[in-house]
Amino acid sequence: MSDQPAPADTTARQQLEPAAADGLRAYAARTRENADQLAAVLEDIAANGLPAMEDCTPWEELREAHLARLAAQRPAVA
């Protein structure tokens, strides 16, 4: 991906509200940060090999922890 803005096309574009544009920029920054973290992990694996099994967390535990976080964020429905 490039940090360069997309080339302007010849048709008029609808401008976003300032708050929406700020939210979109924040989302882009978070997405870029997540991609950078993933790239760093992959580069580490390429340079040093896979980590020992004892140092890893099973994916099932990661899934359950993530589902618990999602459930805690969502209010219960009666």
Model confidence, pTM: 0.58
Residue 78, pLDDT above cutoff 90: no
In this prediction, residue 38 carries a pLDDT of 97
Task: Give tens-digit pLDDT for 34-65.
Answer: 999 999 999 999 999 999 999 999 999 999 99
Residue 21, pLDDT above cutoff 90: yes
CA distance 54 to 47: 19
31 or 7, which is more confident?
31
% of residues, the chain, pLDDT over 70: 87
DSSP 4: S
